[in-house]
Structure 1
Amino acid sequence: MGASDSRIVSYGWRITHITPCSPAASAGLVPYFDFLIRLNDVLLSNDRDEVVHQIQSQSGTSLVLAVLNAKLGTIRECTVVLSDTPESGRDLLGLVIAYCDVDIDSFHPVRVLDVFPERPASQAGLQAFNDYLFGTSTLIFTSLHDLEETMKNATKPVPIMSYNSQTSAIRVVIVPVIDKWTDLTSMGCDLASGAEHGIPLDDRPVRFDAPLS
């Protein structure tokens, strides 16, 4: 399977979170860029309950996932050995998924344009021009408004998935709680979103710099 197969796929289950030390983490999956397309050669539907049931039915066994990478436009197969604790599909695999358009042109991350010293963005390790904020484990950012709502309502540090175009790696950055919130400038960085701030495309695979725990 390769790039030609990916052209017939329009939607899939986008991975937005991978639990450290989980079966999904061991399979080399990449959050936000990887989409689950098939399970044991069965095309996954857009019905979450049905997908969870399919995963639960494989408890304690191994399964083969067809995974589309949106950046490279290719489909690969990953073999995953599942947990035998059938609490939920998420727990068995160790990931969170959302049904989305797989076209990378549909991605609308928030780009970091500048970072100011000794401010929350700097403390989180964000890099000007290279970093793109994709979202949290449960919310995919589609605009600056999504990031603003996330930060102004935060009561504890916020883990955000950030892609770095220089290293072609995605990592979790922890943005501190901002006590005196006014607007996005409270983060201590300049931000932008939209088509002109899309992810630069190249043929490098994306690496996931997973947190240790």
Structure 2
Amino acid sequence: MGASNSTSNAPPRRALHVLRVAPGSPAADTDISPFFDFLVGIKGLETVDLDLASLERVIEGREGREIELIVWSSKVSKMRVIKLTPTRKWSSALPPPPDAKPSLLGLSMRLCNPEQSLENVWHILDVHEGSPAESAGLVPYGDYIVGFSGGVLERESDFYELIEEHVDKPLRVYVYSFDFDNLREVVLVPNRMWGGQGLLGCGVGYGLLHRIPKDRSSLMPVEQQEEPEEAELFVPAGEAGGMWYGDRQANQYEQAYDDHGYYGYDDGHGHSHDGGHGHGHDGHGHSHEDSHGHSHDDGHGHSHDAGHGHSHNPQPYVTPTAFSFPAQKYD
């Protein structure tokens, strides 16, 4: 079993971002939180820049002995020390690749700048009845897409390109629930045959006003601020359908995000730009109203805060640069 001690500190410039904690692993016995936690170092290890290779060497040399991981939490902006014992004596839910050794920690991580990585979240807004978003169990105003099974998303356009690449194909995304303070895996199947407009059938917000709030109590009703019941930190897609979300408080979230605008759906890219500027959209029909709402053919509803001049040119799908740093498990 793992334990943790807390110590305050400023956010690191570079760290290993925790993307997933394998169920039943040594890390699963601790309070390490996917997406929100960043591994900064190992107590007692003299190193300036901890990278994947150096961490692997240290962990290999300390198998079966307790180590102390220095972890920075983006939720509370503090460092803490987590104790655990690296071991291969646990069974993963998924079979390992041929000739591969079981992971010693059960963590999937990537090297990044913590402050920049937290900016890239996609806030689920209105969800239409019968849409792919509703079928996947996305919760309006309470859910945030933070990544997908192939890695992380580093730019706003990465998410929309990913959706277009997976038309009529299953896409596993990681969704953070603000209501339940946990991360779950959701399977989306974008399509145009569900009976409405757009590939997902939901509004998506991106930008400063749509980041995950740090102060949960400011947006939650008093009755929901009680200590939550113990639940799994990460819920795989196969189990997410059994989750109960309770009564929605959409009106409260609408007040908190009252300037996101409304989203038009002409089979796609409905934008609202707060304080936006002129845009040229090659190959896309759009209309301008007082709220600067745009509708694009064949895309997704989303909003931008403090919009900027830009142009949309149809391009072939390009794998985002985030994937040049694939998540790795430590053997």
Superposition TM-score, scaled by structure 2 size: 0.54
**One-letter identity of the residue aligned with 1:21:** G
Post-superposition Cα deviations, 1:83-105, rounded to whole Å, max 9, x if no partner, equal 237956x8221121111222378
Q: Distance in 2 between matches of 1:199 and 1:166?
A: 11
| Superposed structure 1 runs of 4+ greater than 4 Å apart | 85-88, 203-208
Whether contact under 8 Å (1:105, 1:198) holds in the other structure is no
Q: Name the SS of the counterpart of 2:103 in structure 1.
A: helix
Write the deviation string for residues 33-67 of structure 1: whole angstroms up to 9, x where unpaired. 00111223325725322222222222233321111
Q: Which residue of structure 1 lines up, in the alignment, with residue 25 of structure 2?
A: 22
2:72 corresponds to 1:48: no
- Which of the residues 145, 148, 165 maps onto 2:178? 165
1:146 counterpart residue number: 158
* Shift in Å, 1:134: 0.4
Given that 2:11 and 2:114 are in contact with CA atoms closer than 8 Å, whether structure 1 keeps it comes out as no
Unaligned runs of 5+ residues in structure 2 are: 90-98, 218-226, 239-331
Q: Distance in 2 between matches of 1:185 and 1:210?
A: 29
Q: Check conservation: 2:11, 2:78, Cα contact below 8 A.
A: no
Task: State the distance in 2 between where 1:8 and 1:146 align.
Answer: 25
Q: Write out per-residue CA displacement over residues 143-190 of structure 1, whole angstroms, 9 at most, x where no aligned residue.
A: 342223333334853332212223332222222x33559xx9301211
Secondary structure (helix, strand or coil) at the match of 2:56 reads helix
Partner of 2:311: none
SS state of the match for residue 235, structure 2? coil
Aligned partners of 1:110 and 1:143 also within 8 Å: no
The question of 1:116 aligning with 2:102 is answered no
Q: Hey, what does 2:14 align to over in structure 1?
A: 11
Q: Which has the higher contact order (CA 8 A, sep 6+)?
A: 1
Of all paired residues, the percent bearing the same amino acid is: 24
Greater helix proportion? 1
Q: Contact conserved, 2:146 with 2:176, CA < 8 A, in 1?
A: yes
Shift of 1:126: 0.8
Is the contact between residue 37 and residue 44 of structure 1 (CA under 8 Å) also seen in structure 2? no
Greater Cα offset, 73-82 or 35-44: 35-44
Please say if 1:76 is aligned against 2:86: no
Q: Which segments of 5 or more consecutive residues in structure 1 lack a partner in the other structure?
A: none
What secondary structure sits across from 1:150 in the alignment? helix
- Between the aligned partners of 1:8 and 1:15, the Cα distance in structure 2 is 15
Secondary structure at the aligned position of 1:91 is classed as coil
Partner of 2:208: 195
Give the counterpart letter for 2:173 in structure 1: I
Task: Report if the CA contact (8 A) 1:16-1:138 is conserved.
Answer: no
CA distance in 2, matches of 1:156, 1:63: 42
* Aligned residues of 1:159 and 1:174 also touching (Cα < 8 A): yes
Q: Deviations over 1:11-50 (max 9, x none)?
A: 2111011212111112221110001112233257253222
Alpha-carbon distance in 2 for matches of 1:3, 1:197: 29
Aligned-residue Cα RMSD (Å) equals 3.2
SS at match of 1:114: strand
Match of residue 33 from structure 1: 36
